[in-house]
Amino acid sequence: MPARVKTVRRPELTFWEKLYIPQIICGLKITSAHFFRNLLLHAAHRLGRFKHLPASATIQYPEELRPLMSRFRSRHRLTVREDNTPRCVGCMLCETVCPAKCITIVPAEHPDPHVEKYPIRFDIDLGVCVYCGYCVEVCPEDAIRMDTGILDLAAYSREAMRLDIHELMDPGLRKPIVSCSLKFPHQCKITGGEMKGSWDEVRASAESTGPVDERSGI
């Protein structure tokens, strides 16, 4: 069987196309249409009209955030129980599965025998994290999620890129963190790695505020 030959026909330029000037005018027509449409729309927006027609595709970033997909992986957070303690049971699955090895967990004994363990330290080094989302996939307790929608992670030092349990449990927190509001015993960077808090405090505050709905943490 002979090789099949396919003739590719190059489009011949017509006389008007070779003359170039009509083509320039065609191009100018397109750019001018955009120019005047957007100019008029910007003017109309100033007067509060035609707001539904966008005049530009720009998102004015710090003031205006890009809409994120619901499955978008943004900065991590730790979900909490009703008494404001982490859902995390310190099983170390996320630390084990993490391909970047950016998670550090120090587990301790939980007073509730059904829970067994909880983290007294939970650090994520965002300078190392690759945002693969494996930690979220692997967690049996739905204790870590990547749904805060926080994208502005830049920091001036590597140290500032490390998140500890305060920031992970309260995504509203930003560095520098000066006071600690966590009641359960944990190792706190603020006090220089000292153990702080007790389960009695947690119980007391849970009784005083009464049962709370599942806190989203945001």
Partner 1 sequence: MIEELLIKLALAGLVLFGVLNLAGLHTWVERKQSALIQDRIGANRAAIFGFRFLGLFHALADALKMFTKEDIVPEGADRTLHALAPFFSVFFALVAFAAIPFGDRLVLGDGRIIELQVIKIDAALLYVFAMLSLGVYGVILAGFASRNNYAILGGLRATAQMISYEIALGVSIVGVIMVYGTMDLAELVRAQGRMIGGWIPFWGIVAQPVAFVIFLTAALAETKRVPFDLPEGESEIIGYFVEYSGMKFGMFMLTDFIETIMVACLATTLFIGGWQVPFLLPDGFHFPWGGELLVSNWVYVLLGVASFTTKVLVFCWVFMQIRWTLPRFRYDQLMKLGWRGLFPLAVANVVVTAAVLIFVGGVS
Residue 58 or 179: the one with the smaller Cβ distance to partner 1 is 58
Q: Bin 55: left if φ > 0, else alpha if -120 < ψ < 50, else beta.
A: alpha
* Dist CA 29 CA 59 (whole Å): 27
Q: State yes or no: residue 65 binds partner 1 (CB under 8 A).
A: no
- Which one of the spans 34-42, 106-114, 127-135, 178-186 is the region binding partner 1 (CB under 8 A)? 34-42
CA angle 181, 116, 188 (to 5 degrees): 25
Per CB under 8 A, 7 contacts partner 1: no
> According to the binding rule CB under 8 A, does residue 47 interact with partner 1?
no
Among 35, 181, 191, 212, which residue sits at the site for partner 1 (rule: CB under 8 A)?
35
Check residue 157 for interaction with partner 1 (CB under 8 A). Answer: no
C-beta separation of 168 from 143 below 8 A = no
Choice from 14, 60, 70, 157 touching partner 1 (CB under 8 A)? 60
Nearer CB in complex with partner 1: 56/216: 56
Strands 144-145 and 103-109: unpaired
Size of the site for partner 1 (CB under 8 A): 17
Q: What is the per-residue burial (b if ≥16 Cβ within 10 Å, else e) of 107-120?
A: beebeeeebeebbb
Positions in the binding site for partner 1 (CB under 8 A): 21, 24, 27-28, 30-32, 34-35, 38-39, 42, 55-58, 60
